[in-house]
């Protein structure tokens, strides 16, 4: 640390005080007589809300000194880190802080993690906030509105907690089912993942809080994330991981993008000219700013010139690359002044555009925890995927006399994933003292008890809990029950991948023993992602509940009892074994983070079900799969083309006896043209229908999903020919209805 940096905390504290005064002045100005407000705008023309964000950012930038500009591009951590003390102006235990320019009425940026709600860095006194279910659970709803509502809810809590930047918007594709952060993301398909994450971002930004699309790009495993080089060709990337990011930008315009830790084809993501300048800013026309991941910067000149706009939490990097070093690099011309100006312009523009300047945040806002708990519960319920239901064991019947609930601390709570996204529950974890206490721990259970919620719905029954530690004892306890509910869990977290696809801690043996003693065994899975199920044939039912969030226990019970009809569909393929994966063994060594290595994404754009289709592999459960307590029939599939866009129409009917929601899925399969895989998801809808009710559904297909990307001409190309459209219940639905369409050749950008 040099002397300039040592003085910084003082300067920052002073700056924070000035910001407070300045924002008071701004607030006063709005309540002043019109002539006084006009005078304020005359002095600070960038405060004129009638001007657009570009103009306001330009005017504010023009009024700035070089020192003030430099302050915008170097962020601080919100907690003590190693030998470095927290910047006192940052919100305690938060992810980050960027001092504003109080002299000009431009507020500081207060950053919080992340996608499931307002998180805290490790501390004994965290913020206690509402947690959504995992990102995969939200993706499993396939319900745009629910994703938006969840985003709006966590954005409101961020705002009420004094944050104006939320580091939420993770859309890395599930290429690797063992990835320890899959639970933060939205699955394996670019269209589904992008659609759901974009809705979440829109919800967050509806609170005048900047959201952050991350981790750009191909940060698809945690093992070796700081040192690995993700190898994938441009066209393959543009049709898979990059397509997901591109669609998120188009649909939700996040204020910021976070570049990833890993390298991509040689260059670190946060100093990749290809990723940041060429693809993001040039080809896609992104107007917001790029912040680094925490500790992802490795240079000053290369990072600045290649497109990084803001170094996050400089304490994590080997050096304060965007501090004095950047100041010098600009002074001596290695980084053009115009580039520094553009970095700041982008940050300011996002602040004006998303309302951060006009709607200043303050800590201590009211939070309606009861209402937010319902938002989280609804999301969790609709994201539960009923994988198997033999003999109609579910929904649970009112007449049951004895129900045995086993394992996974289901007597007190539901598991959460670990790492920076962890939202600490009100009242603390329901279980303490297990798993890693430090990063990426602690292991937290949201105190929403499945057992209590089940007991409340079975007043006439004896509902007992067994911890499952002794499998034989659990089996004995289960033998004479009317139904047995075994809860199985897999804790994963940021920075660590699952060591295997198998459930840990001998849970397979526990489930097997219990199911042998009582075939009416229902397994409820609380996992970060796909797991293997060697006991599947022995059990009556399996429900994937993911990490179910703040109200998870209630949500699980409501679905088990049929108060809510399950309507989740898998956002990822569940393999039969690791040998079916493109990389049966994970690359890298979790114990040695020193040697750079390659991850060769040889499957290219054939991610998930596309890989399984291409290789003719039968998964354990296919992408898109999920059962209901009712049945749906499809009819009248028809295709038409309007203004070069393919439109599909069909009718869905609830042919069963209870109300329910269905997710009819459309896949397109080229009959002549060669794609990366036999078919792609082209659209879907989620419809709720009463028994006997029908609904007409219409879906317009994004032309990129009918095309191949051509790197040479940087364009998408649809090949002339015949394409089969399938109306299906999953990516492996053998009974799908279909219609053939003839497409003309077409080339388009971007
Ligand atoms: C994670 C980011 C997170 C940041 C701040 C990093 O370790 O990769 O997703 O936003 O920390 O906590």
In a domain? residue 134: no
Whether the predicted pLDDT of 5 surpasses 60? no
β-pair partners for 666: 683, 727
Q: Are residues 328 and 257 in the same domain?
A: yes
Answer with the one of 583, 615, 647 that is the final residue of a domain.
615
638, containing H or E segment: strand 632-642
Assigned domain for 177 exists? no
Q: Is the CB of 111 under 6 A from ligand 1?
A: no
Ligand 1 contacts CB of residue 167 (under 6 A): yes
Cβ of 95 closer than 6 Å to ligand 1, yes or no, is yes
What is the 3-state secondary structure of 511-575? HHHHHHHCCCEEEEEECCCCCCCCCHHHCCEEEECCCCCCCHHHHHHHHHCCCCCCCCCCCCCEC
Q: Based on the domain organization, do 658 and 589 belong to the same domain?
A: no
On whether both 400 and 500 belong to a single domain, the answer is yes
Residue 49 lies in a domain: no
d(CA 660, CA 688): 6
Instruction: Ligand 1, residue 215: give the atom nearest the CA.
Output: 9
Asked if residue 199 lies in contact with residue 143, where contact means CB atoms within 8 angstroms, the answer is no
CA 274–ligand 1 middle distance (angstroms): 23
Same domain, 414 and 508: yes
Domain boundary among 353, 381, 416: 353
Handedness of CA 249, 251, 254, 255 (dihedral sign): positive
- 551 and 515, same structural domain? yes
- Cβ of residue 16 lying under 6 Å from some atom of ligand 1: no
Distance 126 CA to ligand 1 centre (A): 17
Positions of E strands within 390-475: 402-406, 414-415, 445-446, 462-466
Beta-carbon count within 10 A of 716 CB: 20
Angle at 742 between CA 737 and CA 747, to 5 degrees: 125
Query: Residue 435: pLDDT above 90?
Result: no
Check if 315 has its Cβ closer than 6 Å to any atom of ligand 1. Answer: no
Domains identified in the chain, total number: 4
The ligand 1 atom at the shortest distance from the C-alpha of residue 419 is 7
421: helix, coil or strand? coil
576-612: per-residue pLDDT in tens? 999 999 999 999 999 998 899 999 999 999 999 999 9
The answer as to whether 540 is a domain residue is: yes
Ligand 1 center–CA 642 separation, angstroms: 43
Q: What percent of the chain has pLDDT over 70?
A: 95
Helix (H) or strand (E) holding 216: strand 210-216
In a shared domain, residues 542 and 653: no
Beta carbons of 119 and 143 less than 8 angstroms apart: no
> How many A from CA of 495 to the centre of ligand 1?
10
Atom index in ligand 1 nearest the CA of residue 121 equals 12
pLDDT per residue over 385-394, tens digit each? 999 999 999 9
- For residue 239, what are its two tokens? 């049709």
- Residue 348: strand, helix, or coil: helix
Q: What is the CATH number of the domain that holds 584?
A: 3.40.50.1700
Q: Is residue 360 part of a domain?
A: no
Decide if 523 is inside a domain. yes
Q: Are residues 434 and 393 in the same domain?
A: yes
Strands 263-264 and 267-268: antiparallel
Give domain status of residue 555, yes or no: yes
Relative to the CA of 184, which ligand 1 atom is closest? 9
Residue nearest to atom 4 of ligand 1 (CA): 294
Catalytic one of 143, 229, 293, 613:
293
CA-based end-to-end distance of the chain: 44
Mutating to test ligand 1, I would choose from 109, 111, 167 the residue with most ligand atoms within 8 A of its C-beta, which is 167
CB 199 within 8 Å of CB 252: yes
Residues 287, 398 within the same domain: no
**Considering the chain, what percentage of its residues have pLDDT values greater than 90?**
92
Quick one: pLDDT band at residue 32, thresholds 50, 70, 90?
Answer: low
420 lines ligand 1 (CB under 6 A): yes
Q: pLDDT tens, 514-544?
A: 999 999 999 999 999 999 999 999 999 999 9
Active site (annotated) includes residue 293: yes
Q: Do 561 and 648 belong together in one domain?
A: no
Residue 129 lies in a domain: no
Span from the CA of 293 to the centroid of ligand 1 (angstroms): 6
Ligand 1 within 6 A of CB of 114: yes
Per the structure block, which two tokens stand in for 578? Answer: 């690791």
- The pLDDT tens digits of the residues spanning 456-493 come to 999 999 999 999 999 999 999 999 999 999 999 999 99
For the CA of 167, the nearest atom of ligand 1: 10
DSSP letters, 454-470, are: HHHH-TTSEEEEE--SS
Residue 35: in which H helix or E strand, if any? helix 34-43
Among residues 353, 382, 411, the one where a domain terminates is 353
Q: Quick one: which H or E segment has residue 27? A: helix 3-31
CA-nearest residue, atom 8 of ligand 1 = 293
Q: How close is the Cα of 598 to the center of ligand 1, in Å?
A: 22
Say whether both 524 and 381 belong to one domain.
Answer: yes
Are 492 and 391 members of one domain? Answer: yes
- What burial class does residue 578 get, using C-beta atoms within 10 Å of its C-beta: 0-12 exposed, 13-18 middle, 19+ buried? middle
**Residues 71, 341: Cα–Cα separation, whole Å:** 12
Structural domain harbouring 12: 2-43
CATH number at residue 308: 3.20.20.300
Instruction: Quote the pTM value.
Output: 0.95
Q: Which positions ≥6 away from 38 have C-beta within 8 Å? A: none
- CATH code assigned at 725: 2.60.40.10
Q: How far is the CA of 435 from the centre of ligand 1 (A)?
A: 21
158 and 258 both lie in a single domain: yes
């Amino acid at each position: 640390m040099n002397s300039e940096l040592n003085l910084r905390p003082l300067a920052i504290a002073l700056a924070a005080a000035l910001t407070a005064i300045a924002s008071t002045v701004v607030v006063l100005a709005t309540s002043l007589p019109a002539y006084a407000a006009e005078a304020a705008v005359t002095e600070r023309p960038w405060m004129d809300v009638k001007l657009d964000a570009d103009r306001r950012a330009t005017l504010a930038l023009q009024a700035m000194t070089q020192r003030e500009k430099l302050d915008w591009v170097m962020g601080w951590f919100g907690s003590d880190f190693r030998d470095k003390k927290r910047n006192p102006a940052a919100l305690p235990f938060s992810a980050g802080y960027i001092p504003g320019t109080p002299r000009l009425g431009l507020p500081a940026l207060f950053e919080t993690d992340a996608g499931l709600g307002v998180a805290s860095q490790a501390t004994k006194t965290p913020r206690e906030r509402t947690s959504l279910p995992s990102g995969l659970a939200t993706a499993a709803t396939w319900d745009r509105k629910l994703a938006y509502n969840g985003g709006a809810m966590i954005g409101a809590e961020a705002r009420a907690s004094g944050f104006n930047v939320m580091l939420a918007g993770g859309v890395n594709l599930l290429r690797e089912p063992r990835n320890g952060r899959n639970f933060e993301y939205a699955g394996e398909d670019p269209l589904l993942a992008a659609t759901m994450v974009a809705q979440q971002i829109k919800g967050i930004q509806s609170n005048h809080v900047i959201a952050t699309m991350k981790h750009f790009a191909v940060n698809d495993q945690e093992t070796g994330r700081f040192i690995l080089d993700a190898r994938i060709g441009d066209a393959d990337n543009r049709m898979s991981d990059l397509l997901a990011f591109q669609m998120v930008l188009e649909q939700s315009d996040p204020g910021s993008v976070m570049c990833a830790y890993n390298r991509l084809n040689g260059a670190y993501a946060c100093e990749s000219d290809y990723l940041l300048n060429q693809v993001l800013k040039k080809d896609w026309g992104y107007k917001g700013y790029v912040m680094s991941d925490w500790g992802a910067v490795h240079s000053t000149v290369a990072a600045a010139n290649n497109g990084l706009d803001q170094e996050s939490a400089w304490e994590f990097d080997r050096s304060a690359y965007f501090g004095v070093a950047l100041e010098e690099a600009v002074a001596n011309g290695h980084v053009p002044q115009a580039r520094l100006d553009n970095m700041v312009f982008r940050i300011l523009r996002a602040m004006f555009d998303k309302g951060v300047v006009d709607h200043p945040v303050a800590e201590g806002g009211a939070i309606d925890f009861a209402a937010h708990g319902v938002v989280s519960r609804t999301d969790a319920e609709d994201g539960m995927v009923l994988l198997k239901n033999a003999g109609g064991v579910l929904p649970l019947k009112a007449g049951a006399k004895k129900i045995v609930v086993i394992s996974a601390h289901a007597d007190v709570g539901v598991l959460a994933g670990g790492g920076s996204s962890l939202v600490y529950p009100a009242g603390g974890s329901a279980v303490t003292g297990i798993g890693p206490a430090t990063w990426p721990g602690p292991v937290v259970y949201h105190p929403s008890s499945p057992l209590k919620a089940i007991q409340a719905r079975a007043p006439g029954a004896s509902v007992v809990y067994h911890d499952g530690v002794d499998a034989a004892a659990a089996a004995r306890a289960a033998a004479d029950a009317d139904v047995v509910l075994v809860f199985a869990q897999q804790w994963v977290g940021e920075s660590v991948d699952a060591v295997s696809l198998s459930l840990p801690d001998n849970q397979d043996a526990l489930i097997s023993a219990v199911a042998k003693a009582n075939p009416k065994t229902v397994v409820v899975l609380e996992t970060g992602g796909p797991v293997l199920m060697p006991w599947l044939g022995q059990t009556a039912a399996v429900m994937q509940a993911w990490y179910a969030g703040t109200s998870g226990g209630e949500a699980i019970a409501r679905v088990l009892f049929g108060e809510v009809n399950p309507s989740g569909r898998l956002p990822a393929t569940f393999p039969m074994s690791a040998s079916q994966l493109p990389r049966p063994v994970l690359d890298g060594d979790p114990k040695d983070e020193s040697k750079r290595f390659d991850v060769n994404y040889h499957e290219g754009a054939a991610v998930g079900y596309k890989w399984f289709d291409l290789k003719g592999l039968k998964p354990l459960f296919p992408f898109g799969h999920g059962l209901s307590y009712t049945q749906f029939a499809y009819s009248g599939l028809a295709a038409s083309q309007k203004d070069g866009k393919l439109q599909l129409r069909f009718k869905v009917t609830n042919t069963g006896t209870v109300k329910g929601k269905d997710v009819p899925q459309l896949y397109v399969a080229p009959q002549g043209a060669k794609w990366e895989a036999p078919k792609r998801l082209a659209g879907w809808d989620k419809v709720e229908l009463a028994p006997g009710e029908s609904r007409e559904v219409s879906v317009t297909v994004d032309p990129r999903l009918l095309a191949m990307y051509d790197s040479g001409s940087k364009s998408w190309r649809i090949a002339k020919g015949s394409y089969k459209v399938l109306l299906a219940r999953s990516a492996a639905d053998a009974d799908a209805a279909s219609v053939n369409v003839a497409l003309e050749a077409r080339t388009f950008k971007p």
